Amino acid sequence: MLKVLHRVLLVITLGLTAATVLAASGPRVGETAPDFTLTDLSDKSHSLEELRKNGNVLLVFWSTKCHVCHAMIPQFKEIHAKYKDKGLTFVAINVGFEDKEEVDDYVFEYKLDYMVLNEDDKKAQVAEDYRLMGTPTIQLIAADGTVTYRGHRIPDLESLLASTAK
């Protein structure tokens, strides 16, 4: 039994280490986030530059096939509801291989009320620009375009938003 527990702890430790290394491979905290322009599910274009005019932007790179992303939906909805009127725009960018219809169906089925961007012709380039290594990848972008968080977990938004307000 002790051997099994030791192996489980080893796997968890390696997984967390790998997640940390992978998260560090994209634009780092303090660097400028690459700009992009993608369409939402109503075919309206949105650029990161435009989104930043409202303040901070929380980017969540996800896929309908990502079980972790799916499990985080309640938290994403909560963040969107709590911060949408406080200068934080929540944006979910689909980087999976799903087509528009599949993403539309998913958004409808799970009642996602936050902005979802999905443009088949451009999402691979965005994933490359952000050097994504998996989903979910979460980035908090300050209004000036600076990356203030990058990781695979939901950050402490209260602290991060307070530090960007200074």
pLDDT tens-digit map of 63-73: 999 999 999 99
Q: What share of the chain is helix, strand, coil (3-state, %, to 5)?
A: 40, 20, 35
In angstroms and rounded to an integer, the radius of gyration of the C-alpha atoms of the chain is 16
Band the pLDDT of 15: cuts 50, 70, 90.
Answer: low
Mode of pairing for the β-strands spanning 37-39 and 45-47:
antiparallel
Between residues 166 and 11, the one the model is more confident about:
166
Q: List, as one string, the DSSP characters of 110-160.
A: TT--SEEE--TTTHHHHHHHTT--SS-EEEEE-TTSBEEEEESS---HHHH
Whole-number Å distance between alpha carbons of 151 and 166: 23
The pLDDT, as a whole number, for residue 13 is: 52
Mean pLDDT of the chain: 88
The pLDDT, as a whole number, for residue 11 is: 47
DSSP 33: P
- What is the percentage of the chain residues whose pLDDT exceeds 70? 84
Instruction: Delineate the domains of the chain, giving CATH numbers in brackets.
Output: 2-164 (3.40.30.10)
Residue with tokens 């968080």: 149
The pLDDT, as a whole number, for residue 10 is: 46
Kindly state the average pLDDT of the residues 140-164.
92
pLDDT, tens only, 83-135? 999 999 999 999 999 999 999 999 999 999 999 999 989 999 999 999 999 99
